[in-house]
Amino acid sequence: MVQEMNILGIETSCDETSASVVTDSMKVLSNIVLSQDEIHSPYGGIVPELASRNHIISINFILEECLKRAGIKMKDIDLISVTQGPGLIGSLLVGLSFAKGLAYTLEKPLVPVDHLEAHIHSAFIENRDVPFPALALLVSGGHTSLYLMRKKMDYMVLGRTRDDAAGEALDKIAKFLDIGYPGGPVIEKLSQGGKTKEFDFALPKMTDQSLDFSFSGFKTAALRYIKKNNLNRKSPRLKDFLASFEHSVVSALISHLKKAALKHFPESLILCGGVARNKRLREHFTALAEEKGLCSFMPSPEFCTDNAAMVASLALEKYKQGEKGKLALDLNAYARSPY
Ligand code: KG4
Ligand code: ZN
């Protein structure tokens, strides 16, 4: 029997400590994600120093749990992969140093990966045969970008946000209303059954033909409505307000994707990133693909928010394409993605 290769992924770019083992046939043997939501929740957002300090406390335990659930030992790992950037530098350095230490002592190759590219690649964990060209919409707490992909690992940026990311806008409004952190899932829950047209949020108009996004206008309009209507966590109109706000963010994302589809004639659409967990967004995304007769791909919710399976699966792809990995002990974290 041919022994399968095991790829270990490590992800600590923000406030999730995660480790995963993926085989070379892209089977996810384990994907352990420890969220720090409870730690950052009282602050309504991530406190970078607390994030790094908690990664360093948890990372070893997360690795042990990951190997246990995968049913393998560290000696069975053939390749180690880790997120190099972008993200919170202190958080990234914990994962990076840990991965370097493992690679050095175990004499295994190390493949660093980009966080945004890993998010896009998460769509390929469960879907091998994605027809190209594809349009990939990445929506997270730190980024909102649209790419044209002619093949795997080939990205042309069509648009990115000029101000806030979509997830960031959701998180900020939830913080302002003091309804919980992270804002996206809280808003999704509290807006259930709410009316989406009760509060009007005009879609931002770009003067040029750009496919860039902008969410700061929505945020300003939302803050104005909150003040004018004295909205708070107990208001009877909160549900309608949140439903209208979430609906507007989703509409802005989908309208850009639609515009891009008309211009670039893709075969398929990809949705990824933490906000891709959102039910309303998933439904509108699927409806657009059906309307246009395109294939649509989005990861299962566990692979949308930050996780190490997407890191390991991207490293596997890079390995298959010739990147054998090396132990570069001077490898450093970076804050800005080239993607
Ligand atoms: O990809 P991710 O885990 O981290 C970044 O790379 O930023 O995305 C986190 C973002 C947060 O803004 C969070 O509010 C949002 O994803 N999010 C959601 C949902 N789950 C997470 N937004 C809307 N609906 C959700 N169910
Ligand atoms: Zn992310």
Q: 290-301 pLDDT, tens per residue? A: 999 999 999 999
Q: Which atom of ligand 1 is nearest to the CA of 174?
A: 14
Positive/negative CA dihedral, 254, 260, 263, 264: negative
Q: Could you tell me if the CB of 306 is within 6 A of ligand 1?
A: yes
Going along 107-234, which residue ranges are E strands?
A: 110-114, 134-139, 144-149, 156-160
Verify whether ligand 1 is closer than 6 Å to residue 158 (CB atom). no
256 in contact with ligand 1, CB cutoff 6 A: no
299 lines ligand 1 (CB under 6 A): no
Give just the sign of the alpha carbon dihedral 178, 13, 217, 296.
Answer: negative
CA torsion through residues 304, 309, 312, 318, sign: negative
Looking at the CA of residue 115, tell me the nearest atom of ligand 1. Answer: 6
Alpha carbon nearest to ligand 1 atom 1, residue? 274
Ligand 1 pocket mutation, candidates 33, 189, 277, criterion most atoms within 8 A of CB:
277
- Cα–Cα distances (Å) from 174 to 29, 88, 196, 253, 263, in that order, read 35, 22, 17, 19, 35
Q: CB–CB of 108/79 below 8 Å?
A: yes
Measured from the alpha carbon of residue 36, the closest ligand is: 1
Residue 301, pLDDT score: 98
Q: What pLDDT sits at residue 327?
A: 80
Q: How many residues are present in the chain?
A: 339
Model pLDDT, residue 44: 87
Ligand 1 pocket, residue 167 CB under 6 Å: yes
Helix axes 48-70, 89-106, angle to 10 degrees: 40
pLDDT at 1: 62
d(CA 17, CA 308): 9
Whether 306 and 13 have beta carbons less than 8 Å apart is answered as yes
Largest alpha-carbon pair distance within the chain?
A: 69
Q: What is the position in ligand 1's atom list of the atom closest to the CA of 273?
A: 1
Q: Whole-prediction pTM value?
A: 0.96
pLDDT at 255: 95
Q: Which domains does the chain have, with CATH numbers?
A: 6-120+304-320 (3.30.420.40), 130-298 (3.30.420.40)
Residue 338 in tokens: 């080239």
What is the residue-level pLDDT of the chain in tens, covering all 339 positions?
A: 667 899 999 999 999 999 999 999 999 999 999 999 999 999 989 999 999 999 999 999 999 999 999 999 999 999 999 999 999 999 999 999 999 999 999 999 999 999 999 999 999 999 989 999 999 999 999 999 999 999 999 999 999 999 999 999 999 999 999 999 999 999 999 999 999 999 999 887 776 778 999 999 999 999 999 999 999 999 999 999 999 999 999 999 999 999 999 999 999 999 999 999 999 999 999 999 999 999 999 999 999 999 999 999 999 999 999 998 888 888 999 998 888
| φ/ψ of residue 335, rounded to 5 | -95, -25
